[in-house]
Chains A and B, each alone.
Chain A
Amino acid sequence: MTEILLMASVVLLTLGAAFSLKDARIGFVASVISAVLAVTSLEPEMYFFGALILVIGLLNIITLYLSDNQIKGIDYAIVAMLIFATVLVIQSTNLAVLIGTFVLVSVPTYVLVMLSENDVKLEVGIKYITFMVFATVIFIIGTFLLVYSHSNMNPTLYVIGYVLLILGLGLEVGIAPLHEWVPDVFSAADPIPVSIIASIAKFVPFIVAFKLIIATANPVTSSITMFVAFLAVLSMFAGNIGALTSREPGRVLGYSTVANMGYALSAFVAVVNFDLIYLAIAGVLMQLFANSAGKIGFFTAIKDRGVGTPFTYTFALSFIGMPPLMGFWSKLFIVLALVYSGYMWLAVLLVINSAISVPYYIRLAKELGEGWGYGVVNLVALIAAIFILMTVYPPDWFLQSVKGIVGTFVVAGV
């Protein structure tokens, strides 16, 4: 049944893309249905993840609908493809499928990043594609080294594989010191495609990396986690401090992404503690959800000035980590995972970084917010804000749900 639904989803989005040449609205409808079909393919215990992904994905599709570009109609299908890959990666334990989803979520964004209402952004595209290709290659090499060394018990190869995997992830999502593309692309490309790259496209790399690292974890892992901690700290500081003096909102959000990826990466140190791994996974996933909703909201505001001030402040406060917004809970889960794993200092640095980020998020909220917020763009902002405010009811359910699916964070045969 799962396969049938996934098949149907792929076929539908392909047909939708094809027929959208006739009418872009066909692509829209087909993509939405395809996304829903993909999500329904999930096991019931993963519905919570599917539902949240669907909200983020549909927000991406709606924002695309609000603006024009060179491949109107096909762009919806690209987002549907990203949703499809994200749904696939959470339920799959097959190594080949996992690598496939990594490629599947990366390549379509090559096209997306060049789109705009006027001309094709070739320079941005080249910069982005170069990084992504590099990322994919290194990530895949790292993956194979990890898996190989795991079966052969070769610690040196394991360490190199681990480092390459993390560096590949870093290149893909924008972790310092490999983050150079992020501020440039985020400020130069069209805000809507960027919001897609900054949101739904971030899940797959993290989940694949997490699954691989958990599956190949061995006594050597605890000695290499310091590397992850180092990169995470570097990324947090580079992102937050870099954002402080940046003027363009897109560039600020680029640095914000670098910082947020640092927060998410820091949870990887918790892999040394298997009993609490669910806390780390919940922290990373919620951090990505919070980041996605906030980024979609802010980029929509950049694209179409007129998003209400209450919304922009909601996004900003969530990014800062103000309870009870989603950004608070995600950081809390990560901080707890770090503290329980013995990385108190990292938790402290994370909290300090949240404090450093306060000025530029508030500045963004002030600059991008306008009035009380009416009109269609504010529908997107409203949904994003509600998404962030969802955790007003303490998200213990999220933690328990992640606990239920933590068993799928393995790779078959490894």
Chain B
Amino acid sequence: MNEIPMFAVLFLFPVISSLPVALAWIYRPGEDWARKLPYLSVFGLFVSLLISLNILFNFEEGFYSYPWIEDFNINFVFVVDYLSKYMGALTAFIAFLIGVYGLEYMRDDYRLGWYWFFFNTFTASMLLVVYSDNLFTLLIGWEGLGIASWGLIGHWFRDDDDIAFVGTQGRKVGPLEMSWSPSTGGWRAISTIRFGDMPMFFAIAAIYALTGNLDIHSIPWEGMFEEIGYVGTVALLLLFLMGPFTKSAQLPFSEWLMTAMTGPTTVSALLHSATMVAAGTYLFMRLTWYIEPWELNIPGLETIYLLVLFLGLISALYGASVALGLRERKVLLAASTMSSLGLMFASSAASFWVGEAALIVAFWYLIVHAFAKASLFLVAGHLIHATHDRFCSGNLAFARKMKVAFAVTILATISLAGIPPFTAYWIKSGMDGVMEHLVADGMLLPFYLLVIVSLIYSAFLAKFLSLNFLKGEAPHHEHTEGGQLMKLAYTLMVSMQIVLLAIILLHYEEHASHFVEEGFLTTSLTVGILVTASYLIVLFKPAVPAFSRIGVFLTDRMYLPFLNDYILPQIGWVVIRVVDACNRGVDFFFHTAIPSAFEALSRAIRSIQKGYLRVYMKIVAGSIMLFLVIFSLMGW
């Protein structure tokens, strides 16, 4: 039972350690001593890191439970398995490194209490999601992610600094201004996420109602799916997956992630690349891991996995294309994150046909992507600090002043693009293998989509590198001194690519060593060469003026913002008008119809009061006669 207190410390300590700065900021905002309290918060993250490493190396795989609401079979159940032990360590490690980076990046901010409280609450929530086997505790962590995300995206709530905006202020397309403030970004995030969370909540309730069990590993999935039939299975999983789809910004719920870039860069790096958005795919992987759909013969599952496969691939294609057109550093990376999440979903879903191996590929891609993307975000943050510009800018002269950032960007992009023999190449080879397996099953499209996505992906990574360090405009403003903590953080972050590469190539991990075999297959090598070519071409030709119209179309994210900002509000207005009409109807019914009906009735009743006795006598005699006749007939 020693494990349970350790889990408790893991979840609670980051939150508790952020309370001093949060409280200090309420009563003494901005004082010098209060500005030192974030070190305590980062210490809390460090403690979590130590515990998660302890879990990774010393805990036995299995389930650790502690009674909570035993009468309802709802308990604290924590899982240590292949997925959670790596994911937990990754989360805690990245959170700690970004915490260190944040000490410098956020040093002069006006709302440190808010920032650190939500940052640490986020980390704790994410760890709770990662280690929870019980869907109820998982849901608590899940909601924690949502609220922390809202708090952090809207951190610069004053909306007074263009550097925190997304889009171009003043640029209008039709009725929409293509510009979003931090507070709008926060609202778009929480509203989209809640839109998915509610169906997920009901799906969890349905699972509980059907099985009386909420522990993912022991829910009798097969029996449940057979009980509710095809329609029931599809409906239940669709409701459930609305949570992961919105959280991981799959189409058509991707807009919130783009405008989430109004938050501080640290937030983008932690929440919107490595962890929170990955939580959706992680949850899908975790469910698949225990449902083992490849072992079952449930038609409903095939429908759902097919849907996830294509939704993932199409989202990946959309995200990559949009990233290719974008010029805003962070928004470009956000779109690329969406693309990667799509690939994770697609690869996980392919496990239905391919088996557990596809899940391993997806999970490894999650890990590699998390470190690489977090590195790129941290670099982007440093660049924004240094140039005071959120759009890509920088040339070779600038790169010389930012050597570390330049080097880290090169390493991160080539590691992530899938250029042989760097880290992601081996994973992508695994993914190629998975999609080829589908080709053997008669599905050609996924493989071609994957190749196209890979090429575009590689291209925009090269574009990011080129426009920021090689062939971009000279920055209008340069502030390249300092930043030692930031450099340290992203250097450590990117160095994980080398660690991962070593693990793969040196066969430290049995699942990963399988990727090496895939990497030497002809298909993988061909794709690798194409990807490299794409990377190199774009590196030397990052912008093609002839394609500027397409670029604008992509920069405007294919006009998907209209869904969030125009179509949905219009629907909202329709709902409002309907409600208003109903309101008026109710008002009319109670304030006009009923009173006037009663008034008319009342006047009718009073109208017999003529005052004439002969009228009254007629009424009385008539009534009495009428009653007597009626009852005489009845009595007959």
Contacts and interface: CB of A to CB of B under 8 A. Distances in A.
Given A155-B635, A244-B602, A127 B613 contact: yes
Nearest to B623: A177
Contacts of B615: 180
Given A241-B598, A244-B602, A156 B616 contact: no
Interface string A225-267: 0010000000000100111111000000000000000000000
Contacts of A155: 635
B595 to A, nearest CB: 9
A241 B613 CA distance: 23
A167 B624 contact: yes
Contact of A163 (B608, B611, B627, B636): B627
A138 B636 CA distance: 21
B321 to A, nearest CB: 65
A130 B634 contact: no
B624 to A, nearest CB: 5
Interface string A152-185: 0001101110011001000100000110110110
Contacts of A356: 598
A184 B610 CA distance: 9
B33 interface: no
A238 B605 contact: yes
B238 to A, nearest CB: 45
A183 B605 CA distance: 11
Interface in B595-629: 598-599, 601-603, 605-606, 608-609, 611, 613, 615-617, 619-620, 623-624, 627-628
A126 interface: yes
A244 B628 contact: no
Contacts of A177: 619, 623
A131 B623 CA distance: 14
B635 A159 contact: yes
A126 B636 CA distance: 38
B623 A178 contact: yes
B628 to A, nearest CB: 6
Given A184-B611, A241-B598, A138 B634 contact: no
A127 B624 CA distance: 18
* Most A C-beta atoms less than 10 A away, residue of B611, B620, B636: B620
A134 interface: yes
B632 interface: yes
Interface in A106-146: 126-127, 130-131, 134, 138
Contact of A241 (B602, B620, B634): B602
A242 B620 contact: no
A164 B628 contact: yes
A180 B609 contact: yes
B631 interface: yes
Contacts of A127: 613, 616
Given A242-B602, A246-B606, A178 B631 contact: no
A332 B436 CA distance: 80
A308 to B, nearest CB: 29
Contacts of B605: 238, 241-242
A250 to B, nearest CB: 12
Nearest to B600: A245
A144 to B, nearest CB: 15
A134 B625 CA distance: 13
Contacts of B608: 180
Contacts of B602: 241-246
Say whether chain A's binding surface is mostly helix, strand, loop, or mixed.
helix
Contacts of A138: 624
A160 B606 contact: no
B500 to A, nearest CB: 75
Contacts of B619: 177-178, 180
A156 B632 contact: yes
A180 B621 CA distance: 12
B631 A160 contact: yes
A13 to B, nearest CB: 32
Interface residues of A, number: 31
A155 B636 CA distance: 9
Nearest to A168: B624
B631 A159 contact: yes
A336 to B, nearest CB: 28
A245 B606 contact: yes
Interface string A174-217: 00011011011000000000000000000000000000000000
* Most A C-beta atoms less than 10 A away, residue of B602, B605, B632: B605
A29 to B, nearest CB: 39
A357 to B, nearest CB: 12
B211 to A, nearest CB: 42
Contacts of B627: 163, 167, 227
Contacts of A241: 598, 601-602, 605
A238 B604 CA distance: 10
B631 A130 contact: no
A134 B620 contact: yes
B593 to A, nearest CB: 15
A227 B617 contact: no
A23 to B, nearest CB: 38
Contacts of A242: 602, 605-606
A161 B635 CA distance: 12
B636 to A, nearest CB: 7
A13 B198 CA distance: 82
Nearest to A126: B613
Nearest to B619: A180
* Most A C-beta atoms less than 10 A away, residue of B599, B603, B613: B613
Nearest to A159: B635
Nearest to B605: A242
Contacts of A246: 602, 606
A159 B615 CA distance: 28
Interface in B375-399: none
* Most B C-beta atoms less than 10 A away, residue of A155, A177, A181, A243: A177
Nearest to B621: A134
Contacts of B613: 126-127, 130
Contacts of B616: 127, 131, 180-181
A244 B599 contact: yes
Nearest to A181: B616
B599 to A, nearest CB: 6
Contacts of A171: 620
Interface string B271-301: 0000000000000000000000000000000
Contacts of B636: 156
B620 A180 contact: yes
A118 B617 CA distance: 29
Contacts of A130: 613, 617
A1 to B, nearest CB: 43
A160 B632 contact: yes
A163 B606 contact: no
B635 A245 contact: no
Contacts of A227: 627, 631
A356 B598 CA distance: 9
B628 A163 contact: yes
Contacts of A167: 623-624, 627
Top 7 nearest A-B pairs (CB, nearest first) are A156-B635, A245-B602, A180-B616, A242-B605, A159-B635, A244-B602, A241-B602
Interface of B: 598-599, 601-603, 605-606, 608-609, 611, 613, 615-617, 619-620, 623-624, 627-628, 631-632, 634-636
Given A126-B613, A227-B631, 16 more contacts: A156-B632, A158-B635, A163-B631, A167-B623, A177-B619, A178-B619, A180-B615, A180-B616, A184-B609, A227-B627, A238-B605, A241-B605, A242-B602, A244-B602, A245-B599, A356-B598
Interface of A: 126-127, 130-131, 134, 138, 155-156, 158-160, 163-164, 167, 171, 177-178, 180-181, 183-184, 224, 227, 238, 241-246, 356
23 contacts: A127-B616, A131-B620, A138-B624, A155-B635, A156-B636, A158-B635, A159-B631, A159-B635, A160-B631, A160-B635, A163-B627, A163-B631, A164-B628, A177-B623, A178-B624, A180-B616, A180-B620, A184-B611, A227-B627, A241-B598, A242-B605, A244-B598, A244-B602
